[in-house]
């Protein structure tokens, strides 16, 4: 029996998804279901001075119109905290509809409930809100003079300044070569296919069931329970299928609790589905930001100094910045380093995770600057990176738990055909197309939850097993990969194992964020299954009726559901035979994994990769077309080759979007985004997708978690945009230090 882990197993839920049998949170049918539609503030700052609900109240089918005047108060002030911690995980430290103050456009000011969605949508347009508007800040430039240095960012988990190494200012002064470059980034939104949706139903005993599109059922449970003032035992969350998230559903935003409050008020189950435009102001975004990189280097290309500073727009409630500096700080062996965050408060919802949260922007800045250094020194960009390779973590000096970056460079260069590259910019033509190539390093930290991660394995008398953990499947392939992990742990073929997730009734796993979901869940699942297997083996060797009686348990292995002696495989019996003989209907084991925290480890933990891009730029019209992308990554152990490659490809294509298309445009006059729809917020379509080649280098890692899984959720997007921008420079000779790069930059 060959191992299931790593195989390109088809998705176990594929059939349910393509036939429509998979039920998402907006497809839960309940008796008496009513529909809630949020009314959002149309101003970015001010007070509500009147709400006239009379017309809406009498519209057909309307059950209630709730405003700050009559909505129940929440039991606690939410506190932003990343869901990786496994605790409450509010998206921002503010809950709307508790008073008359408007902090950002789109902030909910009323909830309309009706018997059908269409009637609720109509009545929502009849709610007349009058405001006293006050001046607002919605762009970074408008508040730049009031920037401040936060003590901590990212919900208090990350210091506002990175640890400084040496004296970078002195090193910059002494450097043979200096670069001082500034990069600007548009606001990005996650745009999952399924808008966030919550269906909330109360029973007669003040117990609530929440069907929620979430990256973490427990995060929803604890957050909603806290705001409602209920013990967690009164809140059950169900989340079997989620239609993508990319960070939009990593934290718990107000609409989830608003649905529960509304359902309690009208005494009926309530479905609240955000509309596509509401998704642009209801669950965070990648913030507008600017990053400055200064590099000091010798003529040999070796870095002597690196500074990296970021200024970005956050909300009035939270010191949020995506962590743009951390991976860039350790990507190369610069002996001196300094970096920090500055924030500007604005009238926006608190920004949040967006795929590659921080690394996708920070590594764009660093890798663009490294390309400039390559041209300044005349050193091949790949050779330059090798010269600055960090053999150990440059911050702590600790060895890497695993790295594999040099292998990624080498394999990527082979696949791409990098070695015969002519470095001269603007010299290769194909008709009117200017052709260029570029590369970049990808880096993403290996994160882990800080709480124990649990899974349960149960074997039935027939030798089949169900393995459970409270995760949601939001498109990553987790159900499939965990089936493979369970099969190998138990020594069963995959068709004899069913993995079940999707509710808070199951053993607790933290939200799957920060590319940590596969590591956390696979650890718990593996430990549960190995424990159950060992339990059964111990049972067999102690059972006088077993052919394995008296054997040393350490010498017993399991293949295809049959326990046998490693040295004499003919001696053994199946799980079924053991259980049947002993009249045991089932056996269970709970697996608990206590994650290794980076600060407590002797190793530094990071995932690396190498990205290569070829672009064609229309010499006259400025159009940019990506012709090829090659990505080689070293994400530790790959659980399912097919779903892992899909994740990496999705990341790389998103990197293409970040590079060339994606921008949410704020209109400072209205204080609202001007393109809150998918016709005007451009993401790549199939016709934009180039030839994409992906390979993984499997680096063994015995530190990060039991199976050595480092995760593939985000590393694919990191570096893609820089490789493309570097290729645009190679094609045209033009350096664009702004994302997205659009044709007006190149006319």
- Judged by the rule CB under 8 A, the positions of this chain that interact with other proteins are 42, 60, 118, 121-122, 125, 430-433, 616, 618, 620-623, 625, 627, 660-661, 665-667, 669-670, 672, 674-675, 679-680, 682, 684-688, 742-744, 747
Ranges of H-type helices in 476-562: 478-490, 517-542
Of the two residues 60 and 99, which places its CB atom closer to other proteins in the complex?
60
DSSP assignments along 400-462, one per residue: BS---HHHHHHHHHHHHT-TT----TT--EETTEEEEEEEEEEEEE----SS-EEEEEEEETT
The answer to whether 714 is a known catalytic residue is: yes
Answer whether 70's CB lies under 8 Å from 133's CB: no
Kindly state the smallest distance separating residue 110's Cβ from other proteins, in Å.
14
Min dist CB 361 to other proteins, Å, is 20
Task: Give, in order, the Cα–Cα distances in Å from 662 to each of 88, 604, 665, 684.
Answer: 31, 33, 10, 9
Burial-class residue 53 by CB neighbours within 10 Å (0-12, 13-18, 19+). Answer: buried
CA atoms of 638 and 622, how far apart (whole Å): 39
Checking DSSP bridges between strand 235-238 and strand 208-212, what pairing results, if any? parallel
Distance from the Cα of residue 510 to its chain's centroid? 13
In the complex, the smallest distance separating the C-beta of residue 747 from other proteins, rounded to whole angstroms, is: 5
Q: Name which of 345 and 627 has its Cβ closer to other proteins.
A: 627
Report d(CA 558, CA 536) in Å as an integer: 10
Separation of alpha carbons 23 and 239, rounded Å:
9
CB of 124 to other proteins, least distance (A): 10
Q: Which residues of 62-73 are buried (b: 16+ CB within 10 A; e: fewer)?
A: bbbbbbbeebbe
CB of 141 to other proteins, least distance (A): 14
Residue 13 or 662: which CB sits closer to other proteins? 662
Count Cβ atoms below 10 Å from residue 389 Cβ, excluding itself. 14
Cα gap 229→208, rounded to integer Å: 12
Q: Residue 419 is encoded by which pair of tokens?
A: 């070695």
How many Cα atoms occupy the beta-carbon half-sphere of 192 within 13 Å? 28
- The residue (of 298 and 668) whose beta carbon lies closer to other proteins is 668
Smallest distance from other proteins to CB 283, Å:
20
Query: Whose Cβ is closer to other proteins: residue 283's or residue 616's?
Result: 616
- Nearest residue (CB) to other proteins, 225 versus 725: 725
CB of 677 vs other proteins, minimal distance in Å: 8
Q: Which is catalytic among the residues 588, 714, 738, 744? A: 714
User: Of the candidates 306, 307, 196, 170, which has an alpha carbon nearest to the alpha carbon of residue 249?
Assistant: 196
Q: Which is nearer to other proteins, 112 or 605 (CB)?
A: 112
Strand 108-114 and strand 34-40: the pairing is antiparallel
Half-sphere exposure for 7 (CA within 13 Å, toward CB): 17
Q: What residues act catalytically?
A: 714
């Amino acid at each position: 029996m060959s191992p299931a882990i790593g195989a390109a197993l088809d998705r176990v839920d594929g059939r349910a998804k393509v036939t429509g049998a998979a039920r998402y949170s907006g497809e839960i049918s309940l008796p008496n279901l009513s529909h809630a539609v949020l009314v959002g503030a149309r101003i970015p700052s001010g007070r509500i001075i009147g709400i006239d609900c009379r017309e809406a109240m009498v519209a057909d089918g309307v059950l209630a119109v709730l405003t700050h005047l009559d909505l129940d108060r929440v039991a606690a002030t939410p506190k932003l905290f990343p869901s990786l911690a496994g605790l409450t995980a509010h998206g921002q430290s503010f809950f709307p509809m508790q008073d008359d103050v408007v902090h950002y456009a789109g902030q909910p000011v009323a909830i309309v409930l009706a018997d059908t969605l269409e009637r609720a949508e109509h009545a929502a347009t009849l709610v007349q809100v009058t405001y006293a508007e006050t001046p607002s800040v919605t762009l970074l430039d408008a508040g730049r003079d009031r920037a401040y240095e936060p003590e901590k960012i990212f919900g208090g988990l990350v210091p506002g300044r990175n640890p400084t190494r040496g004296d970078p200012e002195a090193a910059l002064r002494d450097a043979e070569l200096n670069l001082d470059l500034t990069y600007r980034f548009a606001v990005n939104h996650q745009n999952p296919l399924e808008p966030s949706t919550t269906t909330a139903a109360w029973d007669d005993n003040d117990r609530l069931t929440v069907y929620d599109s979430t990256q973490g059922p427990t995060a929803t449970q604890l957050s909603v329970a806290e705001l409602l003032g209920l013990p967690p035992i009164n809140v059950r969350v169900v989340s079997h299928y989620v239609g993508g998230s990319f960070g939009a559903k990593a934290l718990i935003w107000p609409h989830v609790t608003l649905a529960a409050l509304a359902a309690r008020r009208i005494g009926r189950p309530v479905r609240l589905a955000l509309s596509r435009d509401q998704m642009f102001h209801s669950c965070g975004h990648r913030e507008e930001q600017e990053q400055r990189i200064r590099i000091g280097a010798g003529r040999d290309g070796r870095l002597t100094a690196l500074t990296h500073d970021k200024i970005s727009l956050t909300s009035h409630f939270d010191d949020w910045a995506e962590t743009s500096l951390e991976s860039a700080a350790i990507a190369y062996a610069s002996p001196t380093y300094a970096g920090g965050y500055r924030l500007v408060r604005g009238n926006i919802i608190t920004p949040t995770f967006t795929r590659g949260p921080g690394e996708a922007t920070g590594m764009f800045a660093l890798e663009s600057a490294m390309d400039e250094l390559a041209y300044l020194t005349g050193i091949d960009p790949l050779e330059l990176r090798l010269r600055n390779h960090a053999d150990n973590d440059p911050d702590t000096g600790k060895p890497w738990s695993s790295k594999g970056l040099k292998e990624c460079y080498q394999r990527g260069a082979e696949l791409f055909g990098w070695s015969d590259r002519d470095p001269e910019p603007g010299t290769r033509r194909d008709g009117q197309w200017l052709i260029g190539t570029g590369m970049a390093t990808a880096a993403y930290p290996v994160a882990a939850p800080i709480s124990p991660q649990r899974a349960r394995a149960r074997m039935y008398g027939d030798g089949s097993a169900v393995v459970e953990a409270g995760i949601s499947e939001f498109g990553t392939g987790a159900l499939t990969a965990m089936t493979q992990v369970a099969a190998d742990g138990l020594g069963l073929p995959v068709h004899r194992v069913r993995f079940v997730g999707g509710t808070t009734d199951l053993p607790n796993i933290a939200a799957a964020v920060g590319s940590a979901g596969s590591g956390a869940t696979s650890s718990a699942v593996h430990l549960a299954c190995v424990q159950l297997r060992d339990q059964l083996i111990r049972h067999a060797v102690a059972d006088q009726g077993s052919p394995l009686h008296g054997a040393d348990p350490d010498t017993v292995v399991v293949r295809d559901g049959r326990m046998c002696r490693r040295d004499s495989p003919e001696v053994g019996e199946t799980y079924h035979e053991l259980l049947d003989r002993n009249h045991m209907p089932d056996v269970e084991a709970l697996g608990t994994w206590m994650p290794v925290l980076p600060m407590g480890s002797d190793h530094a933990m990071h995932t690396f990769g190498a990205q290569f891009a070829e672009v064609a730029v229309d010499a006259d019209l400025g159009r940019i077309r990506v012709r090829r992308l090659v990505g080689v990554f070293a994400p530790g152990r790959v659980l399912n080759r097919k779903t892992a490659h899909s994740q990496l490809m999705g990341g790389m294509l998103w990197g293409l979007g970040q590079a060339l298309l994606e921008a949410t445009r704020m209109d400072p006059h209205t204080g609202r985004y001007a393109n809150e729809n998918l016709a005007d917020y451009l993401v790549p379509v199939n016709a934009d997708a180039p030839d994409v080649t992906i390979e993984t280098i499997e680096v063994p890692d015995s530190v990060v978690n039991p199976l050595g899984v480092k995760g593939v959720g985000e590393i694919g997007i990191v570096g893609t945009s820089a490789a493309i921008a570097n290729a645009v420079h190679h094609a045209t000779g033009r350096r664009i230090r702004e994302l997205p790069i659009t044709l007006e930059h190149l006319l």
